[in-house]
Amino acid sequence: MVRRVREAEAETPTERIHRVYDELPEGERKAADLVLDRPGELALWSASELAGKAGISNATVTRFVRRLGYRSYDEARRSARAMRAHGSPLYLADDLPRAGAGALSPERLIEAERQVVEASLEMQNPLALGAVAETLAGARQLRIAGFRNSFFLAEYACSTLGQFRPGVAMLNMPGQTLAEGIAAMRPEDAVLVIGLRRRPAGFAEVMRAISGTGARIVLLADLSIRTAPALADHALSCTVGTPQALDSPAGALAVLRLLALLTMQRLDGASRRQMEQVESLLGTLGELE
């Protein structure tokens, strides 16, 4: 019984609606259809607003949320807000794009991306950035880690930093377990961890394992993260939210590019020598057009 209660509490509002949909009376089904069509709005609408938009009474809304297993409408709304905070695309957008609704405006996307980049860069403290650049430049080995939607950002950071300093590689490499990657870390090494929201379960445990090796940790994450920043030597923030359904990686990418440029400055002549060696080998091997 306790397990069933916990499983029910873990369900999202949409999951709860689907579970009881066939049992809903007509009025409650109107509310269900509206929420399923625009799930993100449940976090924003009051009970009266939902009732008005669905064309039903406040009492029907109350019966509807109780049938879903919530004690009150506010509890249902908090559940939807939690999904928005965790970055669920289904709950993020106020109005999800639909077939036949016309193309999204490029101007709106440009403005959203601009705001994300500006906000992320404005969050940075120059002194903290300098300390991070020193860490990335001075580490014996530099490993980069990222999971799910942070993985391609980690690959970008790895390929960019690897152009001008040796010893750069992914921590979570294909064909290798995380345990193997973490076990190779030493106190003179550093790990750059990118943790944008919708992180996998156990993210903090991975951070603890890295910290246990003595390697220095640089964390770049959005503001939804908890616990993990306390495990990092340097914790940088960025923003990812936009009015659209999908998070934007543009802010994180801008911060990573800035870190790469600052690290190159710290390495100075050493970075130039590394790049000269890479360019020489590219010519010898004929790997680029």
Residue 103 lies in a domain: no
pLDDT at 2: 31
Question: Does 249 share its domain with 124?
Answer: yes
d(CA 62, CA 258): 51
Q: Which two tokens stand for residue 114?
A: 């601009």
Residue 252 lies in a domain: yes
pLDDT at 67: 93
Q: Rounded to 5 degrees, what are φ and ψ at 224? A: -80, -10
Domain that holds residue 82: 2-92
Question: Does 114 share its domain with 208?
Answer: yes
SS3 call for 90: helix
Give the burial class of 15: count Cβ atoms within 10 A of its Cβ; 0-12 exposed, 13-18 middle, 19 or more buried.
exposed
Question: Does 27 share its domain with 144?
Answer: no
Give pTM, 2 decimals.
0.71
- How many CA atoms are closer than 13 Å to the CA of 267, on its beta-carbon side? 26
Question: Does 243 share its domain with 171?
Answer: yes
Question: Does 6 share its domain with 130?
Answer: no
Question: Does 181 share its domain with 38?
Answer: no
Residue 20 lies in a domain: yes
User: What's the average pLDDT block by block, 10 residues per block, for the chain (289 residues)?
Assistant: 40 85 91 85 90 94 94 92 75 54 74 92 91 96 96 97 94 88 96 94 94 97 85 91 85 97 90 78 80
d(CA 163, CA 125): 26
Find out whether 96 and 245 touch, Cβ atoms under 8 Å: yes
Question: Does 124 share its domain with 202?
Answer: yes
Residue 100 lies in a domain: no
pLDDT at 129: 94
Per the listing, tokens 């300098």 go with: 130
Question: Does 162 share its domain with 50?
Answer: no
Question: Does 263 share its domain with 185?
Answer: yes
Q: Point out which residues pair with 169 in neighbouring strands.
A: 143
Total number of domains constituting the chain: 2
pLDDT at 39: 81
pLDDT at 157: 98
- Pairing of β 216-222 and β 168-170: unpaired
Residue 14 lies in a domain: yes
pLDDT at 3: 35
CA proximity to 138, closest of 253, 268, 258: 268
Residue 50 lies in a domain: yes
